[in-house]
Structure 1
Amino acid sequence: MMKKISCFMDISQGNMGYRFLPSGDVFSFTYTHSRGEYLINQFRGNVKDGSANNIYLRIYDNGYPVNIYPLLGIQSASRLLFSEEALVYEGIVEDISYQVTFSPEGSLWFWNISLWGNDKEVDVIYGQDIGIAEAASVYTNELYMSEYLGHTVFEEDTGYVICSRQNMPAHDAFPYIQQGTLGIKAAHYSTDGLQFFGLSYKDTNTPEILHSDLLDYNLQYEFAYTALQTEPIYLQGEHTFAFYGFFLPNHKEAVRTAEYREQIKQTYERIRHRNFNAHPVKPVRIKEYFGSPYSSPSFTKGEIDALFPERILEEVENDSLFSFFTKEHSHVVSKEKELLTERPHGTIIITPPDVTEVSSRLISSTQYMYGIFNSHIVIGNTDLHKFLSTPRGFLNLLKNSGQRIYIRIDGQYHLLTLPGLFEMGMNYSRWFYKLPEDTLIITAFTAVSNTDLILSVVSDKNVTYDFIITNQLVMGNNEYTKNLEYTAIEKGLRFTLDSTVYPGLHYDLLLPDVDFTLSDDRIFFEGDTPFDETFLTIHLRKNCFTLLIKGFLTEPSIEKTTQYDFLTEKEKALLFYQRLINHFKLSGITGNEKIDILNETAWWYAHNAMVHYSMPHGLEQPGGAAWGTRDVCQGPMEFFLATQNHTILRQILLNIYSHQSYETKEWPQWFMFDKYSMNAGECHGDVIFWPLKCVADYILASGDKDILKEILPYEDAPKKQQSLLEHIRLALKNLKETRFVKDTGLITYAGGDWDDTLQPASEELKVKLVSSWTVALAYQTFTALNTALKDTEPALAQEFSILSGMVKDAFCNILIKDHIIAGFLECGDTYRHMLHPADDTTGIHYRLLPMTRSIIAELADKEQSKKNVSVIQQNLKCPDGVRLMDQPAHYDGGVSRLFKRAEQAANVGREISLQYTHAHIRYIEAMAKLGAGKEAWDSLFVINPILIRKTVANANIRQSNLYFSSSEGAFKDRYEYEQHFELLKTGDIKVKGGWRLYSSGPGIYFRQLVSHVLGIRFTKDGIIIDPVLPRELDGLRFTYTCFGKTFTFLYQIGESDETKITSQGKEISAKVLNNPYRTAGLLIAKEDLLTCDEYLTIHVKAFT
């Protein structure tokens, strides 16, 4: 059995726990309360790397800091002393003696610093990572919690004081921390780790800011890290001062002043001279043959040519090759680009999913360019089945997570960090390191037919090296939560997880062709003392080797270890994705770079969509494991509708309907779709419509009305089994009884709508507010159900028809005022139109979602649709896409009044940025519906990450092969955002890519491209051909598989309003369809299509 860390030094003060590692590094500061504990720091340190926080002594020469010394923990040369009340660090650097004493008093703590020296100019920098939230929330996603941690900085007589409030409530409380100085002035400050460590940290392993002053502005990003810099100190003897931290479990109101200062000063004066009677601690030292991390030199153009002779879509900046794609759809990134990219390049590789059934028998791994060869390894449930840990933060600060490799060069071990080149493919990643006289190629890939991960390490020149492979083991949800059970097996170890849901769950770690030695973290330390036995190390000596990780959901079975060939598995994966996207290929227009962009996008968004569907999690959002009801009803459903995969659509729908609640008659916001029964227990007001809409869309596309007869359980009443049709009736009953406002077709907002940030702040608003977007979605749902059910269930269909009429009447006559659709309606004795020009409360006058959804649903008439477009173009369109509203919600210290997250988030990211990519894709759908072909086509590239800077001039550098969920203005904080919002419209501020990959967006994007722009979509017995393309695409060819046969469509775009389809010069019989806004497309019967030659010509007018 491997044990958790057990060698802490603990100081307890009431509810507060201050926990240190034997090296003197901070492990955790916590506050225990009746329902759990708050984690005050953000990253739990480890003995090998230390902790994120530290105190740095800087020695000056001629006004510049020339030598910098960390004073705390393993990174320092300090001698350590400990008592139950204090921890003391002391030492000498450059004839300066120092003593740092950590001493707490309840939830107030001091870092008291004494310096002794003569004729020295110095200053001291203090840095502290901040969590101040429920510990489980920080462990789940520290980036997300940082977004809601609002910093307020005050300049007092004694310098800067930083007050930080967690605006996301934890059990109705808002944790707070104040940090400042005593006995010295804090002359400079910063608030985010990006300011402090900088992107260069990934290359240098040194905080970037240490050679200059702190930046003196509040950056609200995703790495809450407060830093304070003292004024200069001219040492002539002793100088004593302190940094302090003060924690408060609940600061209900917004932070207006630096409170509690007098109380803090009095406490400090009372304890500063206290004798703590501390005793020496046995020193912990890293063995001298462990050197600094190894960051590869860059590859020359000639070396890149030799490795990748065929390249497309080259990204070149300042004559430097940043990235490119290959003919085999891999994406290659240079070190130069990585060092300019805020979100580090990474990917998730998975077993290609079975597209005939919903299965958890899949394995996945998250990989990063900066030397994470595998991490977050899971089979099945991505939250509860972790084998290896997930990286924390985005700067590679602590280097114990996941799986990493040390290599011995010239007598010293070096951790491999940044490669010269990083390649990502459909089922693999590769790292290329230039070594002295050699190239090391590391490949991590998944098998296609088994739940196996393979790590291959090869010396190009067959040089033998000593390697140490490190693995931070989890076997559960988060690090350090479980003791780990393992047994030795031939050529490796078997790790089992104690699970009642999956009692046979286990992982095998194998090294089949090499001798190796197993150990833990003792391999790093003098005296071979172990500190963390969950840290598995493997030592071997070889010129090449393979490591295999096999995941199993069932009991161990006797099976022969498979020998995998990388190129073979790569080809199998390419074949899988080619079939998955129905052999998608655009061609026919030479020199049009956008054609190549969309070809690569089809492959990579298919990859992204499969991760979202089958192994739900992302890079910035490692937590997942569940289907969001709204999300699965969009991304996967629409992707598989576009590819005609009705078999898996049916299975997804049956799974969704099995998670309906019998008691509430609704679906939860999210639910785990495997054997676990966890779900959100509540939902937003729009969620109930999505499963209803989806089953209608599925029946209309497949003709499978037998699905209505399927007998299914309920989530909360598994023995209460009824037909899917009865599930629909139950949902309808809920809608009719609880959701309509009085006798109108208005529908209550309930828990919110698609924009999660606009959840109502009070129970009263859930009932009083109406979301016009939800009303438009309801109309679309009722209309689709009427059409889908009218032949088999005419009475039920008629109910939906009546409801759609009621909703349309309410929408057109109540929600629209002065030809503008209100974003919300507040219902009382009178109606108050909100997010509308008549709204004098919120300052927001236009909302995108109802304008686009009313067009997609064909709810808005022609004149109203024109008005919608005009409003969008004038008020919501920006160079980087359309925004959700014309102004952000007002931020006032993170206190909610109308809406929750919109008024709580301190960071300008994700939905708060208002350019949520998903909503922009729906804008493309609306434009296609209207026949705005040029706008729809151009809008595809505004949100496409490949060569985005050619389309969006103010776009920051970002990863090119993964979907980004938002485009975020580079504002420092919410106040600057609100004050200078217009810069987004003019393009005079940089915009950054948001969280990546985990979204329904890739699947929806693929469908808009195929079904609504290129115009190929399907009914149960035919194909609809309805392209909406600008004249510049005349001659475009589109290859795609339809009804099992691969066709190439040639688009001939001209002036005629008549659309026709020809095969070998003969016109194919077709039915003209209806579109209330424009000339509609044609429906060709399936039997007529399949008798045609594989080359079809589409004669269509240009859509401008």
Structure 2
Amino acid sequence: MNKINSFISFNQDDMSYKFLPTGDVFTFTWDEYLVNQFRGNIKDGSANNIYLRIYENESITAYPLLGIQSNSTLSSTKNSLCYEGTIKDISYKVTFRPVNNIWFWNINLDGYQKTVDLVYGQDIGIGTATGVFSNELYMSEYLGHSVFEGDNGYVICSRQNMPNSGSFPYIQQGVIGSKAVHFSTDGLQFFGLSYKETNVAEILTSDLKDCNLQYEFSYIALQTEKIQLNGEHALSFYGMFLPNHEDAIKEIEYKDTIQSAYVESIKISENYVATEKITLKSSFAAPYCSEPFTKEEINARFPERKLEEYKEDALLSFFTKDHSHIVTKDKECLVERPHGTIIITPPNNKEVDSHLISSTQYMYGVFNSHVVVGNTDFHKFLSTPRGFLNLLKNSGQRMYVRIDGKYRLLTLPSLYEMGMNYSKWYYKLSDDTLIITVYTCTSHSDLVMEVSSEEKKSYDYIITNQIVMGNNEYTKDIEYTTIKDGLRFELDTDQYPGLHYDLTLPGQTYTLSDDRIFFEEGIAFDETFLTISLEQNSGFELRINGYLSDDEELSNKQYSFETEKASALEFYQSLIRGFELNHPNQYNEQIDILNQTAYWYAHNAMIHFSMPHGLEQPGGAAWGTRDICQGPMEFFLATENYDLAKQIILNIYSHQDINSREWPQWFMFDRYTVNAGECHGDVVFWPLKIVADYIMATGDESILAEVLPYFNAPESQESLLEHIRYALSNIKETRFIKGTGLITYAGGDWDDTLQPASEELKEKLVSSWTVALAYQTFLTLGHALEMVDVELAKELKSLANIVKDSFHDILIKDNVVAGFLECNNGYKHMLHPDDNSTGIHYRLLPMTRSIIAELVDKNQADKNVSLIHKHLKCPDGVRLMDCPAHYDGGVSHLFKRAEQAANVGREISLQYTHAHIRYIEAMAKLGEHKEAWDSLFVINPILIQHTVKNANIRQSNLYFSSSDGAYNDRYEYEKNFDLLREGQIKVKGGWRLYSSGPGIYFRQLVSNVLGIRFAKEGLILDPALPKELNGITFTYQCFGKTITFEFHISEANELIAINGDKEIPHTSLNNPYRHGGILIKKEDLLASGDIIKVYTK
């Protein structure tokens, strides 16, 4: 199976222009830089095109002029391409001519008494090809567009603001011979959300938006002035690429260079040779998009629904009692981020296990994609969809069905159902319903697809599969061998010899082919695009089995969807210890929300832990050291999954660098040795902190004697305690600002958008958040080691006191904790009211961490909260800072990413959900019970508009990592930032699923809001519940025993637990901010009944 290699290529200097045989763009590259964003394919064409629009009878009809989607004939020379044809009595000729790093689309029209215009659209990546292929959304976020008006109308210049191989690539696009009178800059404006349903670019029947939208699909569009055709008319669109543009874009540049190249391009006269015509078979028709189910049809299928979401009278989504989430087509057409999920083999709950299979699925007809066993970067079997509008439809695994004599690609279903280990698509036909179910199995790394007709009707099917066998598509030829009922694909690696995938259709008769089946000419262009045809079939099963070695045989186990669904649900129920909230006296929507969230965030957390990747972030395969120490670790400690918590610790310490004595920012945790090679300044503290947290929760001091290697010196093995000493020696020797207890910034902290642009400043900078974390780590580890090493414990507590003194004496000025401190012949407080350089005066992280760590007293804690509420709190959550960093065309002056990102999203929008969760933790500790409870729902996607009135509709069952103000660009954001505080601008959900956030959220809910915490001596009860929840019950397994806690909230000044009519013996705990919790010994808890009444204030 050969990858696509039939190209029409033009190479000039370092530029290479590569077209498919249809004339569709495949890649424009300069050395390692990729100019376009999407690689076209012969079946679908490419994302770019030029459209001739004809105005007739007050309507506009658009016709593509390029590639497979057009009716053009194609011819070529060694230096150019020519597209020719006739539309509505208008003859056209489009000539592509490159002149080194500048290219022209020279257009000649010939017609009479016609009113037309032309619309040009081009997707742009302008970053290293590796970077764009890794994540085109991320690259777009840093691609800054500048729009100017020149002699020929609008000119758009785009600069990659984040250094790519040390450079800042640049592209300019415009018109010659006419005027560009309208423009747009993002594919969302051009194609629109309706594209998912219609398969037609939304903008083609109206004017372009004339708005510089900086989103995640960089797509430059230009619309010419209207042309009254009465004979011939000529004009050109052009693009110019430069590998580096150091400065911010201030004006239209390179006019003379472009004009000279243009003159050269129209001089060239060559004899064109016609290329072979490629024609799509007439048996393939437009994609199939289902009609919606009626209300009666939905009622029949799902009579019991929970947490129904409506827009006006239209049902958008709902949950079921078994924690499935169902979405209607109506909702999918409203959301920017398409509904999708990741399903995995339920992981081993005793050890870190790589022998799991994973699949990413999307509502718009991607039944499997990014299918991988083990490493989610290097072991891909099927490719990953690109973009969020289903533009190119060759990725992953999809399906055509012959309906009324035509093959139709299944896209949007009537309903899309997601569960813990499955997705299900319901396609309503005129007289039938097709149901496609894909699920993972609990006992093997097997992925099963079941296709059925409810009316038992037979259809012809074509299943398409874009095979990768590595990191990215189009990188290698594919080989397979025939096995019983299917094919075996081998991916031998040095780390996993014998790794292979089996694709089988048990008991079926099928025909294998490739993309040739789509074309009249019967020629194969991409043999890695595997097609499987089945004829007259009313239902079948397809399996993908993933194996990490060659000594594993094909699983012939008979699976049942209902059995596997129940088994997966049982796994998650056990994982979260039977979590269930109830209010016996009244319905409470919020309680219903949390019961669903517990399961879905457990699902999200296990993907982050065991198969790290997400929907918007398909790359992963590694543990972020900081992240793994938070989300998974806190989740496992909150659920008594101590075996996994221990395995995390041992794995992390085995990756400690023997030279730096620290840990990399991230590392692959399987047999691959890839890691970041460097880390931020806070990273060294997290592995120390989790050992302390683990020992304090479990009492398992034996872990300290575990003998472990160092990452780059496997022969040097020492006990975990010696590893701790080794890291501590580095902190003492290299991380303190001389004469103080302040910790150096050393490359960054949690918010790496604020990394200084100046390398020199890194050595002189202090992050007060890192200092607070250091204090908490030293103090907690000191307590944890008291019975193991008295002297070391004493030293750690002494270090904590030194840090505490410096935090109060230096970092707090005028009762405000500075975000940063610059130490340079004195102290300069940054991100503080005294800061005149950044314009930023308040930073959230040190204010919350200093409360969580109990580093500040009650007086200062209250001041922190007052400042947060006044300056940082918005209706959609608390923000990282009181205003954004200044944006100056993407050039860094003080900070790197904070000043480089052109998009207002993720950390740049400043409401990073993870940080809001830490705010909840601080509120619970401080005794702000109602604030802690209410804040859980500000960031919960289920029915979020009930809490956040300005929230946009978003997917309800997956964690979103940020809440992003719906600003068009950074300039609008900076000017109108106060709209966020006022709730006067819409806020959108950010990237989904791949985060430590779900695990941390679960832990805050269980351990700090409901107040159920495990300690080595027993169970801590320390609820932080508002009085409105009086009577709420919580069922949870503690020490293997299922207990229902009844919470009775009164004005009493003490907390007591009653079993029957007897108070359970306990010890009161200290909290510097409020009345503390109580500790019940394990044996006393186990001797009590199944119902415990908790009386609390």
Q: Same fold by TM (over 0.5)? A: yes
Stretches of structure 2 that go unaligned for 5 or more consecutive residues are none
SS at structure 2 position matched to 1:674: coil
2:298 corresponds to 1:312: no
2:264 corresponds to 1:265: no
User: What's 2:15 paired with?
Assistant: 16
What is the CA distance between 1:6 and its match in structure 2? Answer: 1.1
Q: Give 1:1081-1092 correspondences, 5 Å limit.
A: 1081-1092=1077-1088
User: What's 1:362 paired with?
Assistant: 356
Opposite residue 29 of structure 1, the aligned amino acid is F
Q: Give 1:444-593 correspondences, 5 Å limit.
A: 444-541=438-535, 542-589=537-584, 590-593=586-589
Opposite residue 91 of structure 2, the aligned amino acid is S
User: What's 2:248 paired with?
Assistant: 254
2:879 corresponds to 1:883: yes
Stretches of structure 1 that go unaligned for 5 or more consecutive residues are none
C-alpha contact 1:506 1:556 (8 A) present in aligned 2: no
C-alpha contact 1:376 1:389 (8 A) present in aligned 2: yes
SS at structure 1 position matched to 2:521: helix
What is the CA distance between 1:98 and its match in structure 2? Answer: 0.2
Counterpart CA distance in 2 for 1:483 and 1:715 is 34
C-alpha contact 1:1037 1:1049 (8 A) present in aligned 2: yes
Counterpart CA distance in 2 for 1:259 and 1:729 is 58
C-alpha contact 1:379 1:551 (8 A) present in aligned 2: yes
C-alpha contact 2:492 2:500 (8 A) present in aligned 1: no
User: What's 1:1035 paired with?
Assistant: 1031
1:949 to 940, 945, 961: 945
2:39 corresponds to 1:54: no
Deviations 1:808-827 (A, max 9, x none): 01100000000000000000
Counterpart CA distance in 2 for 1:563 and 1:482 is 34
Count of matched residue pairs = 1095
2:773 corresponds to 1:773: no
Give the TM-score normalised by structure 1.
0.99
Counterpart CA distance in 1 for 2:552 and 2:1041 is 41
User: What's 2:372 paired with?
Assistant: 378
Counterpart CA distance in 1 for 2:303 and 2:959 is 27
Deviations 1:862-896 (A, max 9, x none): 11000000000000000000000000001101011
User: What's 1:728 paired with?
Assistant: 724
Counterpart CA distance in 1 for 2:1019 and 2:374 is 36
2:609 corresponds to 1:613: yes
User: What's 1:696 paired with?
Assistant: 692
2:175 corresponds to 1:181: yes
Counterpart CA distance in 2 for 1:556 and 1:471 is 26
Deviations 1:347-377 (A, max 9, x none): 0000000010011010000000000000000
Deviations 1:752-789 (A, max 9, x none): 00002111212111101100000000000000111001
What is the CA distance between 1:588 and its match in structure 2? Answer: 2.1
Counterpart CA distance in 2 for 1:402 and 1:391 is 7
Q: Give 1:50-449 correspondences, 5 Å limit.
A: 50-65=45-60, 67-449=61-443
Deviations 1:200-241 (A, max 9, x none): 000000000000000001000000000000000000110001
C-alpha contact 2:104 2:265 (8 A) present in aligned 1: no
User: What's 2:666 paired with?
Assistant: 670
What is the CA distance between 1:1021 and its match in structure 2? Answer: 2.2
What is the CA distance between 1:798 and its match in structure 2? Answer: 1.4
Opposite residue 54 of structure 1, the aligned amino acid is N
What is the CA distance between 1:83 and its match in structure 2? Answer: 1.3
User: What's 1:922 paired with?
Assistant: 918
Counterpart CA distance in 1 for 2:762 and 2:450 is 55
What is the CA distance between 1:484 and its match in structure 2? Answer: 1.2
Counterpart CA distance in 2 for 1:485 and 1:668 is 36
SS at structure 1 position matched to 2:416: strand
What is the CA distance between 1:1048 and its match in structure 2? Answer: 0.2
SS at structure 1 position matched to 2:907: helix
2:854 corresponds to 1:858: yes
User: What's 1:1063 paired with?
Assistant: 1059
C-alpha contact 1:351 1:427 (8 A) present in aligned 2: yes
Opposite residue 24 of structure 1, the aligned amino acid is G
SS at structure 1 position matched to 2:267: coil
Deviations 1:4-50 (A, max 9, x none): 11111100001000000011100000001xxxx10000000000000
Deviations 1:93-134 (A, max 9, x none): 110000000000110000000000000000000000000000
Deviations 1:39-64 (A, max 9, x none): 00000000000000000000001454
User: What's 1:680 paired with?
Assistant: 676
C-alpha contact 1:485 1:497 (8 A) present in aligned 2: no
Counterpart CA distance in 1 for 2:511 and 2:232 is 51
Higher deviation after alignment, 763-772 or 984-993: 763-772
What is the CA distance between 1:801 and its match in structure 2? Answer: 1.1
2:627 to 621, 631, 644: 631
In structure 2, do the counterparts of structure 1 residues 1002 and 560 end up closer, same or farther at CA, with 3 Å as the change threshold?
Answer: closer
Opposite residue 791 of structure 1, the aligned amino acid is M
Higher deviation after alignment, 500-509 or 555-564: 555-564
In structure 2, do the counterparts of structure 1 residues 609 and 558 end up closer, same or farther at CA, with 3 Å as the change threshold?
Answer: closer
Counterpart CA distance in 1 for 2:909 and 2:266 is 46
What is the CA distance between 1:737 and its match in structure 2? Answer: 1.0
Deviations 1:897-942 (A, max 9, x none): 1111000000000000100000000000000000100000000000
SS at structure 2 position matched to 1:796: helix
C-alpha contact 1:376 1:386 (8 A) present in aligned 2: yes
Counterpart CA distance in 2 for 1:453 and 1:919 is 36
Counterpart CA distance in 1 for 2:127 and 2:78 is 26
Higher deviation after alignment, 789-798 or 335-344: 789-798
What is the CA distance between 1:802 and its match in structure 2? Answer: 1.3
Counterpart CA distance in 2 for 1:310 and 1:623 is 38
SS at structure 1 position matched to 2:229: strand
Opposite residue 199 of structure 1, the aligned amino acid is L
Opposite residue 114 of structure 2, the aligned amino acid is K
User: What's 1:643 paired with?
Assistant: 639
C-alpha contact 2:545 2:555 (8 A) present in aligned 1: no
Deviations 1:648-695 (A, max 9, x none): 111110000000000000000000000000000000000000000000
Opposite residue 930 of structure 2, the aligned amino acid is K
C-alpha contact 2:324 2:418 (8 A) present in aligned 1: yes
C-alpha contact 1:662 1:717 (8 A) present in aligned 2: yes
Counterpart CA distance in 1 for 2:151 and 2:11 is 33
What is the CA distance between 1:266 and its match in structure 2? Answer: 1.9
Counterpart CA distance in 2 for 1:666 and 1:632 is 15
Opposite residue 647 of structure 1, the aligned amino acid is D
Counterpart CA distance in 1 for 2:557 and 2:234 is 64
What is the CA distance between 1:560 and its match in structure 2? Answer: 4.9
Task: Output the aligned Cα RMSD.
Answer: 0.7
C-alpha contact 1:856 1:925 (8 A) present in aligned 2: yes
Counterpart CA distance in 2 for 1:504 and 1:978 is 54
Q: Give 1:925-1074 correspondences, 5 Å limit.
A: 925-1074=921-1070
What is the CA distance between 1:563 and its match in structure 2? Answer: 1.6
What is the CA distance between 1:271 and its match in structure 2? Answer: 2.4
2:907 corresponds to 1:908: no
SS at structure 2 position matched to 1:780: helix
C-alpha contact 1:510 1:548 (8 A) present in aligned 2: yes
Counterpart CA distance in 1 for 2:940 and 2:921 is 15
Counterpart CA distance in 1 for 2:153 and 2:915 is 45
2:30 corresponds to 1:26: no
Counterpart CA distance in 2 for 1:49 and 1:161 is 29
Counterpart CA distance in 1 for 2:118 and 2:12 is 27
Counterpart CA distance in 1 for 2:746 and 2:78 is 52
Counterpart CA distance in 2 for 1:764 and 1:717 is 31
2:705 to 709, 733, 736: 709
Counterpart CA distance in 2 for 1:213 and 1:563 is 56
